[in-house]
Amino acid sequence: MSTYMLLCNFTEQGVRTIKDMPQRRAAARELGKKFGVDIKAGYLAMGTYDLIIHAEATDDEAMAKFLLSLAAIGNVRTTSVKVFPEADVDKIIAGLA
């Protein structure tokens, strides 16, 4: 599984319907499952981004399909960052010349 941080901002539609956020969160988790994406945690954020989501996916293609499907709904815009857990970082560093 690959790990991602999804940096999200609400669209105008997303803000207008903010009270639906609990239902949208559940729907996003279900949508993710269809593509092999597991949403591990979500955070309401203050600053540059409105939401930060920690997710895992079977591969980059699965995450891309999920993000495109999520964007098509129209409530959030996302920036995705693929991240490496500490154990993977240690393996990467161990393999350096």
Model confidence at 97: pLDDT above 90:
no
Q: In percent, how much of the chain has pLDDT > 70?
A: 100
- What CA–CA distance (Å, rounded) separates 30 from 32? 5
d(CA 75, CA 44): 14
Confidence at residue 28, expressed as pLDDT on a 0 to 100 scale:
97
Instruction: Give CA–CA dist 82/2, Å, rounded.
Output: 7
In this structure, CATH architecture of domain 2-94: 2-Layer Sandwich (3.30)
Tens of pLDDT, residue by residue over 45-88, are 999 999 999 999 999 999 999 999 999 999 999 999 999 999 99
C-alpha distances out from residue 45 to 9, 19, 23, 49, Å? 10, 16, 19, 6
What local confidence, expressed as pLDDT, does residue 68 receive? 98
